[in-house]
Structure 1
Amino acid sequence: MIHYKTYIRGENNEWVTFVHGAGGSSSIWYKQIKSYKENFNILLVDLRGHGKSKNIKRKLFKDYTFADVSRDVIDVLNHLRITSTHFVGISLGTIIVQMIAEKEPEKIRSMVLAGAVTRLNFRSQMLITLGNLVKHIVPYMWLYRLFAWVIMPSERHRESRSLFVREAKKLCQKEFKRWFKLTRGVNSFLNVLLAKEPPIPTIFIMGDEDYMFLPSVQTRVSQRKYAELSLVANSGHVVNVDQPDEFNRISIGFIQKQAKRKQHVYTMNLA
């Protein structure tokens, strides 16, 4: 089982599960934990090959799939007997959350998708193609630093870049290649995954400077019934690090709203 950590507020409190992106770990949520644990029970996971899950052997899998990675998270929920939870995902972690929504939607009360990846634009596809051409001959940290700079180019994004590069150093070259393979054909995969909208309340929280991923998210949200978009000013791709106070305000408010709505429905049904 992948590594996880919990903060328990109380048995009557809602659960919130955080899912980081590729190259990161649960430590990227350090600006959220204090505010969240005042309101919710928290579950932090380190995805396979990341953080404290790095040394957990997965001999059955030579290559990773999004289904494999999402199953890891579901296994933790089942182990902890968490029947339903709100999810907060960042970057590639938003794909994992949406994969869980497709596989076991009853486990998800609401989704907060930050720096969401719903489609790779031309520039990001070119980066992926370049990476696949040279990944066997170029040290992976060179590639990761390049990707981090292209995705988060502003001086305001310096802290986010530094955090992700620092976390990525904990990966090994083999692990990087396994995760990098997930990017092959990702647009086709996302088109299928996101073709149908699950009836789950969803908020996309995007930085207004996330130029690589924001346009596709705006298009996606405009076509959805249960989703809304919140733009955060002066923020790039890693909005929870660039503007943590605003991110916490928006995301916690959204989750509390969904929790109250569900409680109201439950009360009405009892009556």
Structure 2
Amino acid sequence: MMRKQNKKNLFFPVFFPALKIMAKSTTDITYTQLAKVFDHAILKPDQTTKDVEQGCQLALEYDAKSVCVKPCDVKQAAEILKGSSVLVGTVISFPHGNSPTSAKVAEALQAVQDGAIELDVVINIGHLKSGLYDTCQKELETIIKACKAKQPNVIFKIIFENAYLTKEEIVKACKIAEAAGAEFVKTSTGFASSGATYEDIELMRASVSDHIQVKASGGIKTLDQVLTFLEKGATRCGSSSTGQILEEFKKRNNA
């Protein structure tokens, strides 16, 4: 189903105030500003501890905003990145969101204890599609409340997996995530049949308040994709191609 496109241009001053990005559009963005858009993904099932180490070193080299690692790798990433500006993130109930609430809470609390400061939590997709909106919201509230009681600064990004959702369900998921207390809404895990789309970012941006940020994830491989996602209203991009994209930016801008 084709989603109606919002024609309004969405530039940095509206959605990046907390990040102090002053660019008037993506044509003005600096390397540092762009690098701090990236959550460098290290999430493939077959990635080893050596891959985690290399991924963290890459994030340090390119000055990414964060790494997003598997829950079992949080301790390792936290040790490598200790004292740096690169944050440690992980995923909860990934990639399908099917775990019971108690398991999600336990996994999230363990991640915080191990050193994660950003948690990307998969919404219960089946419950969302069943119309169990109160159940979805209460679950997210429970996870968020439990973690913020231990670490008030933890950031929550709620993953919808838009490939499985209708336009109306995406809007509803945005409302649920915001009401539950999340800081971000996020398009995808990167493990479904499709990832982030420009139309989805516009829709999600229009469906949450200005203080809620939007993360694009899934299939992001090029600089032009990233710049377009930012113009559509995203403030963060998850990608395993961080180094290649930032090298593309440097080459294009003689940085």
Structure 2 length-normalised TM:
0.35
Structure with larger Rg:
1
Q: With the length of structure 1 as denominator, give the TM-score of the two structures.
A: 0.33
